[in-house]
Structure 1
Amino acid sequence: MNGSGPRVAILGFHLEANAFAPPSEKGDFIAQCWEEGDGISALARSVSHLPAEIPGFYQRMDALGPWTPVPLIVVGAPPGGPAAADVWRDFISQVESRLRAQGPVDGVYIANHGASSAVGVDDTEAQLARLIRSIVGPDVPVIATHDLHCNVSEETVASLDALVSYRTNPHVDQRERAAEAADLLHEVFEGERLVTAYIRLPITPPSVTLSTHQGPYADIVRRAETMMQPKGQGPIAVVSAASGFVFSDLPKCGMTVTVTARGDLAAARRAALELARDVWKDRGRYIANTIDVAKAVELAAKAEQPLLFADVADNPGGGGGGNTTWLLEAFDRARVPGVTLGVFVSPEVAAKAHEAGVGGEFQAVFNAQPGSYTQRYEARAKVLCLTDGNGVGRRGILRGRKFSLGASALIELCDSGMQVVVGSLRRQLAEPAMLEMHGLDISRLHILIVKSRGHYRAGFDEFFPNERIHDVDSPGLTTPNLSQIHFKRLPRPVWPLDQDAAWIEPEWD
């Protein structure tokens, strides 16, 4: 360490890769986050578009004492297909060249999503971790944070000193987990030795069953938290119970337990095995509770209180296009009063709305070029509001972060009066500001349809309590009905797709 405190390299790659979605191109990253070099530090200490872990890490490191940040590169794109080959080559090349150019560092912090992949590279996290370890050597601590929907491989864990995954779903604890990573780095700086035990189980539960407020996964996360011991009070430093992301369709998919201990590998293994047994014993509780489109229309038509319906099968937060019309068409044709839907992703409709201007009418053509899950639907529409789509989140996963929908509009379908927020960039409706920026008062909405899997719950809980929320299944890239998906590389047998799935416990000495 030098006179300015420890030099810590900072980098991150945020992409939740859905194998069934089109590849994520450079433009997808640039539209959300592609930052290189020293400018990252200024962004991390201001309101910015950086992943929330980055400012959280800076804030904690600043509080712990003098240090020298060595920011390399931080990129992120909306959940989508595997990163295009050239995107990954660019990123990994920049990591290597920038880290080598900076000279020796005392620690490395990686803020990854953890469920990424690239065209031609299944395990991007392992490749990145191995590269960093090969450059910094065995004695420099390398600690990563991951989304809890991460697919963790044994190869990744082997190159890290610790893995810290989120413990909230919806994700509202990114800053806290980054602070935890900073604390662990400081423990190593002070002489602590970290060791890790890892277990992967043949379970790939539907994502709608993974709430950390209640249910089987909530129980597992709480159990993991009770196992962790503060510095000086026991060996178990961090327990990461990751649920995985099944739509990555990779051999490393599955729920994982990763336990990092202070020098005591036997303790780490005991804790990992104990928690993994709990996960396996509870596997039968991961059952999706959804309704179909017809039932949603029926409930909405007779609703006396405001209701929220989540279009979970078309979640842009899991790689969906945000443009299936199953719910849009059903509610419009049924003439259900007081319905608002967002965000429907259609650059073409948004552009037509901007061309027509506020108060203008036009023929809204949703999905002029239909796809595998997307059907064409037309309706006469009136433009109520136009925006550039740029805002700052105030609740949930986007609280205090900049976001962009691209050019956006609030339109009203003339026959039914249904309101639709249309955006140009693929974003899930998890943040109330996305509606409020279009002049909508959410407290006065009767029926709200959100294209989101679960993060909307942290954004809209002030308006819609759990008993007035319904998850709706329909054809889509992120359907919780996993039997509808034609998996090609998922390890089989796996629960719940295969009732005969079996788990063999590790044979540790």
Structure 2
Amino acid sequence: MQSKPRIAILGLHLEVNAFSPLTTRRDFEAQSWVEGEAITEQSRAAVSALPGEFPGFYARMDATGPWEPVPLIVLAAPPGGMMEPGLFPEFLAIARRRLEAAGPVDAVYVGSHGASRSVEEEDTDGAVLAMLRDVVGPDVPVVGTLDLHCNVSDRQAELADLLIAYRTNPHVDMRERAMDAADAIRARLGGEARFETHFIRLPMVAPSVTLLSSGDLPYAQAIREAARLREGDGDLVEVSVTGGFVYSDIRKCGLCVWASARAGQGAKARVAAEAIAARLWAGRERFRRVLVPLEDAVAEAVATGEDAGRPRLILADVADNPGGGGGGNTSALLAALHRTGARGVVLGVFVDPALAAECHAAGEGARIEAVFNREPSAFAETFRAGAVIRRLSDGHGVGRRGTLAGRAFQLGAAALLELDGSGVLVVLGSLRRQFLEPAMAEIMGVDLGAARTIVVKSRGHFRAGFDELATDDRILEVDGPGLVSPVLSRFTFNGLARPVFPLDEGAEWAAAGVA
């Protein structure tokens, strides 16, 4: 190894919902399609639109000694459908061409989401690692970071030297996990032998609303147990517990546990992984979740608007979460709030590029008939209401809390509508983005502190951004329509390995050697 190691860097951030429309090249270009030295420039910039792992990885490598980045390609798009034909092969070809042209490297860092899928390949993350091994060989360290909602294949576990998953949900530790990856690469380049990993995939597809990393549900308990094991035994390099993303609808979906130990300590990795997996399986019934009926949620919003002494309310429209592939455009909850005259309501982000364009053409202060979903689609019904355009924006902002703190975001052409009759405020955007950051409303001049009810088209990441505005007991997860409903029985899955809990009551699992 050179005294100034050359580290190749690449990543593919896409969480695929197989029930959503295909993800296109334009989706990546609107968020992050970055190649070559631009990756280094953006990773070291004060504010970046790159996934948070890359600034974290660069910062740690810069702080721990000389090195030479060999940036290849980083793609990131909002969660959505499979990558359209040709897109993943193009990504793979660019990464390979740049890697081969760069010459020998000493290690590779892969910062990927882990739940991508393309029309051509269901295990895209495994295919990326296979390509890397084909180019760099079996001895060059390859270390990756993964989102907590990743789908992990046996091939990934075998090909990578180390995989490190996020430990927080909402995700606020992306930077730290990339720093861990940098430390692992430094250790391997310093002479440490390859780590030994024990990997387990449980036959269980947990609804995403059960996967918060705080509280007393089994998943949060497993996250804390993994931390206890890591911190209590220096031979354990990593212990990860990932919830998976069932909507990808492929064989490798499922809740996974893996542990990696220093060379010669593989037995410790096996014991740690099996202990956590056994606890999760034993508590599987607690992964079922009952949502609040839409009518009950609306009634509470009406009561909150009428009673100034009632604490502020947040309604999470979890089934229409763009952060899981939802369209961000179902109108059922909005229509009900308007119909009942709920007061003090702010709803965001409603994704309707056509309506946003109409607002920009009409101008601020104009009164219009707002037609949401003029061309209806799956779950997204047309809804009409008189409205005043209170604010227009290009949708660009910088997050100040939670998962987007210090990171650039964009909603596309955006508008703030005030609906006649109820006074409901709607933050309207053109790009699919979940409402997880107060700044997304604040750039429109909205004072969320004055709201009585905030409606978020988000599954859970909003909790890290909006925790200053409502306590957990005043957050209701609403049972509405959408492409990401936590009620899994509403979907027709074709690719999952079956049987699997909770879809199949006959699903079984036991730790190795246990009858």
Report the TM-score, using the length of structure 2 for normalisation.
Answer: 0.97
Following the alignment from structure 2 to structure 1, what is the Cα–Cα distance between the partners of residues 112 and 38?
19
CA deviation profile, 1:387-442 (whole Å, cap 9, x unmatched): 00001111111111111000000001112211100000000000110000010111
Q: Is the 8 A contact 2:115 2:245 kept in 1?
A: yes
Worse-superposed segment, 464-473 or 25-34: 464-473
Q: Is the 8 A contact 2:165 2:177 kept in 1?
A: yes
1:53 aligned to 2:53? Answer: yes
Q: Is the 8 A contact 1:345 1:423 kept in 2?
A: yes
Q: Is the 8 A contact 2:331 2:380 kept in 1?
A: yes
Following the alignment from structure 2 to structure 1, what is the Cα–Cα distance between the partners of residues 192 and 367?
66
Following the alignment from structure 2 to structure 1, what is the Cα–Cα distance between the partners of residues 274 and 491?
31
Match of 1:219 in 2: 221
Partner letter of residue 225 of structure 2? R
Match of 2:238 in 1: 238
Q: Is the 8 A contact 2:311 2:470 kept in 1?
A: no
**Alignment map for 1:317-328 (pairs within 5 Å):** 317-328=323-334
Match of 1:24 in 2: 23
Match of 1:155 in 2: 155
Q: Is the 8 A contact 2:199 2:259 kept in 1?
A: yes
Following the alignment from structure 2 to structure 1, what is the Cα–Cα distance between the partners of residues 103 and 267?
35
Partner letter of residue 456 of structure 1? F
Worse-superposed segment, 284-293 or 32-41: 284-293
- Structure 1 residue 507, shift from structure 2 partner: 5.4
Partner letter of residue 257 of structure 2? V
CA deviation profile, 1:91-123 (whole Å, cap 9, x unmatched): 000110001111111110000000000012100
**Alignment map for 1:64-103 (pairs within 5 Å):** 64-103=64-103
- Structure 1 residue 289, shift from structure 2 partner: 3.9
CA deviation profile, 1:459-501 (whole Å, cap 9, x unmatched): 0001111111111011211101111111111112111112221
Q: Secondary structure at the match of 1:268?
A: helix
Following the alignment from structure 2 to structure 1, what is the Cα–Cα distance between the partners of residues 267 and 62?
34
Q: Is the 8 A contact 1:352 1:362 kept in 2?
A: no
Following the alignment from structure 2 to structure 1, what is the Cα–Cα distance between the partners of residues 201 and 476?
31
Match of 2:307 in 1: none
1:312 aligned to 2:318? Answer: yes
CA deviation profile, 1:340-392 (whole Å, cap 9, x unmatched): 10000000111111111111011111111111211111111100001000011
- Structure 1 residue 266, shift from structure 2 partner: 1.8
Q: Is the 8 A contact 2:393 2:415 kept in 1?
A: yes
Match of 2:132 in 1: 132
Q: Secondary structure at the match of 2:72?
A: strand
Match of 2:441 in 1: 435
Following the alignment from structure 1 to structure 2, what is the Cα–Cα distance between the partners of residues 92 and 446?
48
Match of 2:35 in 1: 36
Q: Pick one of 460, 481, 484 that aligns with 2:466.
A: 460
Match of 1:281 in 2: 282
Match of 1:10 in 2: 9
Following the alignment from structure 1 to structure 2, what is the Cα–Cα distance between the partners of residues 88 and 504?
36
Following the alignment from structure 1 to structure 2, what is the Cα–Cα distance between the partners of residues 277 and 216?
11
Following the alignment from structure 2 to structure 1, what is the Cα–Cα distance between the partners of residues 438 and 212?
20
Following the alignment from structure 1 to structure 2, what is the Cα–Cα distance between the partners of residues 133 and 363?
57
Following the alignment from structure 2 to structure 1, what is the Cα–Cα distance between the partners of residues 405 and 234?
34
Following the alignment from structure 1 to structure 2, what is the Cα–Cα distance between the partners of residues 30 and 464?
35
Q: Is the 8 A contact 1:392 1:399 kept in 2?
A: yes
Match of 1:207 in 2: 208
**Alignment map for 1:158-307 (pairs within 5 Å):** 158-193=158-193, 194-214=195-215, 215-229=217-231, 234-263=234-263, 264-303=265-304, 304-307=310-313
Match of 2:342 in 1: 336
Following the alignment from structure 2 to structure 1, what is the Cα–Cα distance between the partners of residues 199 and 371?
50
Report the TM-score, using the length of structure 1 for normalisation.
Answer: 0.98
Q: Pick one of 378, 393, 417 that aligns with 2:384.
A: 378
Following the alignment from structure 1 to structure 2, what is the Cα–Cα distance between the partners of residues 234 and 422?
50
Q: Where does structure 2 lack aligned partners over 5 or more consecutive residues?
A: 305-309
Following the alignment from structure 1 to structure 2, what is the Cα–Cα distance between the partners of residues 308 and 406?
24
Moved over 2 A (4+): 504-508
Partner letter of residue 269 of structure 2? A
Partner letter of residue 221 of structure 1? I
Partner letter of residue 227 of structure 2? E
Following the alignment from structure 1 to structure 2, what is the Cα–Cα distance between the partners of residues 189 and 56?
19
**Alignment map for 1:111-130 (pairs within 5 Å):** 111-130=111-130
Q: Is the 8 A contact 2:8 2:108 kept in 1?
A: yes
Partner letter of residue 42 of structure 2? L
Q: Secondary structure at the match of 2:90?
A: helix
Partner letter of residue 90 of structure 1? E
Q: Is the 8 A contact 2:278 2:510 kept in 1?
A: no
Q: Secondary structure at the match of 2:292?
A: coil
Following the alignment from structure 2 to structure 1, what is the Cα–Cα distance between the partners of residues 282 and 463?
28
- Structure 1 residue 209, shift from structure 2 partner: 0.7
Q: Is the 8 A contact 1:229 1:237 kept in 2?
A: no
Q: Where does structure 1 lack aligned partners over 5 or more consecutive residues?
A: none
Following the alignment from structure 1 to structure 2, what is the Cα–Cα distance between the partners of residues 63 and 415?
57
- Structure 1 residue 134, shift from structure 2 partner: 1.2
Partner letter of residue 375 of structure 1? E
- Structure 1 residue 504, shift from structure 2 partner: 3.8
Q: Is the 8 A contact 1:34 1:74 kept in 2?
A: yes
Q: Is the 8 A contact 1:229 1:235 kept in 2?
A: no
Match of 2:486 in 1: 480
Worse-superposed segment, 289-298 or 173-182: 289-298
Q: Is the 8 A contact 1:245 1:254 kept in 2?
A: yes
Partner letter of residue 467 of structure 1? D
Worse-superposed segment, 497-506 or 109-118: 497-506
Worse-superposed segment, 49-58 or 407-416: 407-416
- Structure 1 residue 229, shift from structure 2 partner: 4.3
Following the alignment from structure 1 to structure 2, what is the Cα–Cα distance between the partners of residues 506 and 9?
37
Q: Secondary structure at the match of 1:378?
A: strand
Question: What CA RMSD, in Å, does the superposition of the two structures yield over aligned residues?
Answer: 1.1
